[in-house]
Amino acid sequence: MNAIWGKKIVLGLSGGIACYKAAELCRLLIKAGAQVQVVMTESAAQFITPVTMQALSNKEVFTSQWDARASNNMAHINLTREADLVLVAPASADFMAKLLHGQADELLSLLCLARPIASCPLVLAPAMNREMWQHPATVRNVAQLSRDGAHVLGVGAGDQACGESGDGRMLEPEEIVQEVARVLTPPTLLGRRVLVSAGPTWEAIDPVRAITNRSSGKMGYALASAAWRAGAQVTLVSGPVALPAPRGVSRILVESAKQMHEAIMAGAQQHDVFIATAAVADWRVKDFSAHKIKKTPGSAAPQLEFIQNPDILASVALGERAQAHALYCVGFAAETQDLARYAHEKRLAKGVPLMVGNWGPATFGLDDNELLLVDEHGSSTLPKASKDELAQQLVAEIAQRLPSFFQL
């Protein structure tokens, strides 16, 4: 279950053209399972109507501190006492300046100030002109709000409504949802550095042909996202896939198994956890043809000679950091038969504490999966679910195992 499911979120809108994005943001939060209560400033209502936000949230929108619907006339208190998080998107330069100084002259700033700080985090998604974003006053305000405990998100870059271009655009709704999920996720990997490999490899035969497999990279990308949401600093080494880089994750793109091996070996010793999710080709063509191999009528098929690719997981597991119990290695075994037996054998052969087995043909390219976890104590199953949900469960399993592993 995702971190947003069942949460009560107050979505605040301060004045700015980015209010148009709040409609999609509200929809995505509800789609993720949240209950959304919208609160708007008078300025925000100049850009998008309360009627729109009410229709999307299915709740009456609050716009005034003098709203008499609350029996005690204290909407600024009532709205946050059961809330799990307050999200202000867009957060204008003026609104953030008010928060910094504790000014509370309208409902949204009032409830931000009156919220229970320990149980109701505040997330701010800034939106403003590039000059406003770079102004020393704004820079100081953002830094101090962060020190005061607010989660101030970054901004996007690009064309702005004023006709200029640069930093200051509010993040896209999908990005903000990811950031909210991170704030609501227990930081079980805070301070940890996680390296993930994902996707297939592409072993070239000639400039237009290659040997590859059906891996989509979805499981590895989901794991990278889940580790980031759990507080980790994540590096993702990815083979050729049709997926965007996960939010907050540093991605290194490679093609061949040899390139993946080089990239991972270069960074493995600077990480605490290595999750080898990639479906790496076991062999590559010995002699790459510099030009396309041509077919002529009646000609025989080319005879290809193969050589074995480096074993990435075994190489990392035999490294100094892993041998000193400072790098926790997790392998993946995609099989077509005898899953439990092969996963156990592979764990022992690679010398890793945890092997994750799955049925390759039943998961490649799909959005769901079923995992078999194999360690020195035996095996357990993570039942079929979406890859995002399984990634959260697997990250939780890994986080739980780390303290005892590093103490050995």
Residues recognised as catalytic: 162
Note the Cα 34 to chain centre separation in Å.
18
Residue 100, amino acid: L
Return all residues near 368 (Cβ < 8 A) that are at least 6 apart. 384, 385, 386, 387, 390
Which of 83, 89, 80 is CA-nearest to residue 12? Answer: 89
**Cα–Cα distance measured from residue 41 to residue 48, given in angstroms and rounded to the nearest whole number:** 11
Return all residues near 42 (Cβ < 8 A) that are at least 6 apart. 15, 63, 64, 106
CB 105 within 8 A of CB 143: no
**Cα–Cα distance measured from residue 52 to residue 342, given in angstroms and rounded to the nearest whole number:** 55
> Per DSSP, what are the bridge partners of residue 252?
237
Which of 165, 14, 163 is CA-nearest to residue 91? Answer: 14
- State the DSSP H helix or E strand holding residue 320, giving kind and residue range, or none if neither: helix 320-323
- Look up tokens 């953030």; give the residue: 96
**Cα–Cα distance measured from residue 160 to residue 324, given in angstroms and rounded to the nearest whole number:** 51
357's tokens: 């087995």
**Cα–Cα distance measured from residue 140 to residue 377, given in angstroms and rounded to the nearest whole number:** 53
Which of 22, 59, 17 is CA-nearest to residue 169? Answer: 17
Which of 178, 176, 139, 246 is CA-nearest to residue 18? Answer: 176
Note the Cα 158 to chain centre separation in Å.
22
Peptide bond into 90 cis (omega under 30): yes
Q: Establish how many alpha carbons lie within 13 A of residue 199's alpha carbon, considering only the half-sphere containing its beta carbon.
A: 22
**Cα–Cα distance measured from residue 224 to residue 117, given in angstroms and rounded to the nearest whole number:** 29
